[in-house]
Amino acid sequence: MSFATLIGEMLESGKITVSTNNVKAVEIKAANKKIEINAIDKKIVKQALSAARGGRKSKGTLERIKGAVDQIKTARSQLSQLKEVAEELSEAGVTVTLSYMGSVVVTMGSQAKSKLSSVATGTKAIEINSPLKLIELGI
């Protein structure tokens, strides 16, 4: 059982708000095997994603090409891990949604109703609700 599935099953209800410099960045709500993550400040989300990816900034053309190849390799690996987590969430009856400013961007787990996004993700346990918002967040 993955950590995400364990958390989803253990949480009964609650809300967490994460702020930086007195600015709300992320709200997390949990209830009835559903975890809702609402990104409020996309700058903070992008910084967190950049830090998770290693935060490298390429300078030359060759470095940019190497960086792009590395990003593709990392994305494939991350998608594989995300797919596994989403399928485990689905099996456990847990749903996780990621929203930006209140609009759902991605749904993972049991309530995902994947249509075309299953072609891109390789699973029906991940639904891309808003591709434009997903791109805007830089995920």
Question: pLDDT (tens digit, 9 = 90+) per residue, 1-44?
Answer: 666 666 666 777 889 888 888 888 889 898 888 999 998 887 77
Q: What is the DSSP letter of 41?
A: -
Over its C-alpha atoms, the chain yields an Rg (Å, rounded) of 16
Contact between 26 and 38 (Cβ < 8 Å) = yes
Residues β-bridged to residue 13? 31
Q: What mean pLDDT is predicted for residues 72-97?
A: 79
Domain boundaries, the chain: 3-137
Q: Is the pLDDT of residue 75 over 80?
A: no
Any bridge partners for residue 37, and if so which?
28, 98
Q: What is the model's pTM?
A: 0.72
At 123, is the pLDDT very low, low, confident or very high (cuts 50, 70, 90)? confident
